[in-house]
Amino acid sequence: MSADTAIRVLGVEKAFQGLPVLRGVDLDVPTGSILALLGSNGAGKTTLVRILSTLLMADAGTAEILGFDVAASAREVRESISLTGQFAAVDDLLSGRENLMLVARLRHQKNPDAVADDLLARFGLTDAGRRRASTYSGGMRRRLDIAMSLIGDPPVVFLDEPTTGLDPEGRLEVWQTIRTLAGKGTTVLLTTQHLDEAEQLADRIAILHDGRIIRKGTLDELRALLPTASIEYVEKKPSLEDVFLAIVGPTD
């Protein structure tokens, strides 16, 4: 496994009670890139993420994170990754800052106060840092959740449908957070059902269907699979998202 590849999956299979979910998945994710794993419900996206994050054993095949085998070197893999699930795992009774300090202590950081303050600043939550998380909007909760997962600066981050249940503003907040992560060199594997999310964020896209990766490549490479439509005149109308943001104003 070269230094240019952060995640490598070869022939991974998984079945539950005799029902195949993954049927030989092959996948490479370049270091410092965002890969969007697209698929409908039941396609096997979360199962693959759970295998890569050492929460589930594959029935066959191999997977490596930064050269560490997820089965044979699970401890090293866990030290190299972070996983954010579909729903924000924050404690509503604690403030944003207290949530961050709690995780920093659990991960044996030397200065939890400084770690919390740095992440609040990085994720635009400083002003809300001393408020209870229960008062946060959906986008703020998700940003806090991702911030908590980054304590210790893991080089590889798994985001399993991170915009589930968010309104348009919240989605845009999370999108910007993901762009910032990749801009700092973090490798991101993002699972999503939303085509626009993959289009906006991903360097490369993989389509998981019926337990297999059936297509993968850049957006331009995938677009090239279809013939170009001939259009003589296009009148661009504002999208619903444009209208919504123009009415409500910029995100706080």
Which one-letter DSSP state was computed for residue 66?
Answer: T
Alpha carbon separation from 128 to 93, 120, 176, 191, 210 (Å, rounded): 14, 9, 18, 28, 43
Distance CA 215, CA 103 (A): 38
Distance CA 218, CA 96 (A): 37
pLDDT at 53: 94
150: left (phi over 0), alpha (psi -120 to 50) or beta: alpha
Query: CB-side exposure of 62: number of CA atoms within 13 Å?
Result: 9
Distance CA 120, CA 216 (A): 35
Spacing of C-alpha 210 from chain mean position = 21
Q: Give the start-end residues of each E strand in 31-59.
A: 34-38
- The pTM (predicted TM-score) of the whole model is 0.81
pLDDT at 45: 92
pLDDT at 56: 95
pLDDT at 248: 54
Q: Are residues 213 and 27 in contact, defined by beta-carbon separation less than 8 angstroms?
A: yes
The two three-digit tokens of residue 236, written as one number:
């661009």
pLDDT at 239: 63
pLDDT at 203: 93
pLDDT at 243: 54
Q: Which CATH class is domain 5-90+136-248?
A: alpha beta
pLDDT at 124: 86
What stretches in the chain show pLDDT beneath 70?
Answer: 1-3, 87, 227-252
Distance CA 3, CA 177 (A): 25
Q: Are residues 42 and 191 in contact, defined by beta-carbon separation less than 8 angstroms?
A: no
Distance CA 49, CA 162 (A): 13
Spacing of C-alpha 192 from chain mean position = 9
Of 175, 218, 226, residue with least CA distance to 35: 218
Alpha carbon separation from 122 to 7, 117, 234 (Å, rounded): 26, 9, 40
